[in-house]
Amino acid sequence: MTQTHRSPRRPDGPVLNRPDTGPGGTSAFVNGHFPRRRGLIILLSVLGGFLLTVIWSAEFVDRTIGDNVANTLLGHDAKETPIQGVAAGVLFAFVSGIAGTFTACNIAAFGALAPLTGTTGSRLSRFTQPLKPLGWMSVGMIAVSAAYGALVGLVGTSMPQFSTTPNSPGGLSPRSIQSMVVFGVIGLIMIYLGLAALGVVPDPFARIARRHPNAPMVFMGALIAGFLIGRPFALFRQMFRDAAESGNPLYGAAAFTLQSIGNIVIMAVLFLLLAWLAGSRLQRWFAERPSRLAVLTAVAFIVAGAFTFLYWDVRLLARREIIPWYPTAPWA
């Protein structure tokens, strides 16, 4: 009697070893285990990003949270007190970075890193392993922040971000145009990374990650630093104008680097605590079904990217009355 042997069903969906994902199939954000119903995951993620744009109140986050944090840490009104000297400027840069921790772009970036909290091994390795992605992310972040800060110190008064032209109905100020371009590009990059995590598009880091496995984290750090190039946060603009008027590229580089470090310090601590307290459990949970890691990574990137693009390139047009309407919550 002939028996027919049937392969066991894979609950995670197809595991594809694509030629663009390298040996073992992966870079930091693509593990090669792709879930079923990828279209539904994409649709719900984009919808989540859209709903965030509807309810997000920049005024509450920037003024109620950001300004109060900066005023408390500095001991005076951050907006009304002029920055006097390099030392005061460096302190202001770091504090304004902390005050901007809970801006949408920063939360989005660390949301995309959350799936990397899984740890395993000895007690020492569980302690040091989460430090590695943060360290490599800092390399990219500091490189871009310092370079942009030096550029601001040299030519900043001629840059769109220096402009004080008020926004008016039917028009866009130079700094608004810069924000739209920068955040629009960042949003699209995040969406692409989310699609790559699902195997819908090729992994952009597959080839370089074979020789330089930390390249994706360096790129993520550069992406976070890129927020400075478009950020409209009032305290950041105050720091930007001070660095630009100084004409000192070293001061600009130092101030922008400290602003970036301050911007991620609280989120980095939360990331490490999550990894140290729950990392081994997360690792086991991901191991039970590897496609879970792909789903979490993709959702984080797509929600963040959709939010960033829609908020800065569509909702902003509606606020300037260039397009007729965009839905917003009453408090937003």
d(CA 180, CA 185): 8
Predicted pLDDT at 119:
56
Cβ pair 53, 303 in contact under 8 A:
no
d(CA 237, CA 62): 12
Predicted pLDDT at 11:
43
Instruction: Please give the mean pLDDT across all residues of the chain.
Output: 83
pLDDT digits (tens, 9 = 90+) for 236-252: 888 899 999 999 999 99
Model confidence, pTM: 0.85
Predicted pLDDT at 267:
80
Predicted pLDDT at 107:
62
Q: Is 127 helix (H, G, I), strand (E, B) or coil?
A: helix
Predicted pLDDT at 123:
62
Q: Which two tokens stand for residue 248?
A: 């000192």
In a domain, 129, yes or no: yes
Predicted pLDDT at 21:
38
Q: Which two tokens stand for residue 184?
A: 């629009």
In a domain, 50, yes or no: no
Residues spanned by the domain of 142: 85-117+124-177+208-295
In a domain, 332, yes or no: no
d(CA 76, CA 88): 12
Torsion angle in degrees (nearest 10) through CA of 140, 152, 106, 72: 120
pLDDT digits (tens, 9 = 90+) for 278-292: 777 877 887 788 888
In a domain, 217, yes or no: yes
Other beta carbons within 10 angstroms of residue 288's beta carbon come to: 10
What mean pLDDT do residues 220-230 have?
89
206 or 11, higher pLDDT: 206
In a domain, 273, yes or no: yes
In a domain, 330, yes or no: no
d(CA 119, CA 282): 8
Q: Which two tokens stand for residue 208?
A: 């370089």
If one counts the domains in the chain, the total is 1
77 or 11, higher pLDDT: 77
In a domain, 19, yes or no: no
Render the burial of 193-219: b for 16+ CB within 10 Å, e for the rest: bbbbbbbeebbbbbbebeeeebbbbbb
In a domain, 57, yes or no: no
Cβ pair 294, 195 in contact under 8 A:
no
pLDDT digits (tens, 9 = 90+) for 6-37: 434 444 444 443 333 333 346 778 888 899 89
Short-list 109, 118, 79, CA closest to 263: 109
Number of residues in the chain? 332
pLDDT digits (tens, 9 = 90+) for 155-182: 988 888 888 888 788 888 888 999 999 9
pLDDT digits (tens, 9 = 90+) for 290-300: 888 889 889 98
